[in-house]
């Protein structure tokens, strides 16, 4: 094992204690000895756990946005009703600051972007689908550490 991503098994941050413990074992030199850069925890946006993560373990974070605004995201990701994009993006900025902005956050979107793209082609991306909140970024040697995939 050279890299581990916690995703595709339900929301990892809803199983917070077990995921953190598992990641700690993977980082342990007596176990897998993986570097913090080789472990990623993916989430749809459980804000309190994103804020707790830097206190408990140093790993990479991936956010599954699924949509660029709250209206569309509410339809696709029910947790957005509890933790809307503004709170999610704010928690990501706090997460980055916890590591002096020397951290990578990957923002993930998959199948939903295909549907969004079809809608966007109708009117050259109508305002309804524009990002309302700036994504957290940190420039380091001209490298943007916040990725939109």
The pLDDT of residue 141 is 45
| Block residue for tokens 């994103």 | 50
Q: Are strands 146-148 and 60-64 parallel, antiparallel or unpaired?
A: unpaired
The pLDDT of residue 129 is 47
| φ, ψ for residue 133, nearest 5 deg | -125, 135
Number of H helices, E strands in the chain: 5, 7
Q: Which residues pair with 146 in a beta bridge?
A: 105
The pLDDT of residue 143 is 40
The pLDDT of residue 116 is 58
Q: Give the span between the Cα atoms of 91 and 45, in whole angstroms.
A: 9
Q: Taking Cα atoms as reference points, which of 60, 43, 67 lies closest to residue 146? A: 60
The pLDDT of residue 83 is 97
pLDDT digits (tens, 9 = 90+) for 94-103: 888 887 756 6
* H or E stretch covering 35: none
pLDDT digits (tens, 9 = 90+) for 73-109: 898 889 999 999 999 989 988 888 887 756 656 655 5
DSSP letter, residue 11: -
Mean pLDDT split into 10-residue runs, the chain, 149 residues: 85 96 94 89 94 93 82 88 93 85 58 56 48 50 40
Q: Are 103 and 61 in contact (CB under 8 A)?
A: yes
């Amino acid at each position: 094992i050279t890299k581990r991503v916690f995703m595709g098994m339900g929301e990892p941050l809803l199983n917070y204690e077990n995921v953190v413990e598992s990641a700690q074992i993977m980082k342990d030199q007596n176990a897998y000895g993986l570097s913090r850069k080789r472990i990623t925890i993916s989430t749809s946006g459980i804000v309190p756990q994103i804020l707790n993560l830097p206190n408990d373990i140093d790993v990479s974070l991936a956010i599954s946005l699924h949509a660029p605004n709250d209206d569309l995201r509410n339809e696709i990701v029910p947790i957005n009703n509890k933790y809307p994009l503004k709170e999610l993006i704010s928690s990501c900025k706090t997460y980055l600051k916890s590591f002096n902005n020397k951290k990578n956050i990957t923002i993930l979107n998959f199948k939903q972007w295909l549907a969004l793209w079809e809608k966007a082609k109708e009117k050259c991306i109508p305002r309804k689908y524009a990002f309302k909140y700036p994504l957290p970024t940190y420039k380091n040697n001209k490298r943007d550490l916040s990725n939109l995939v």
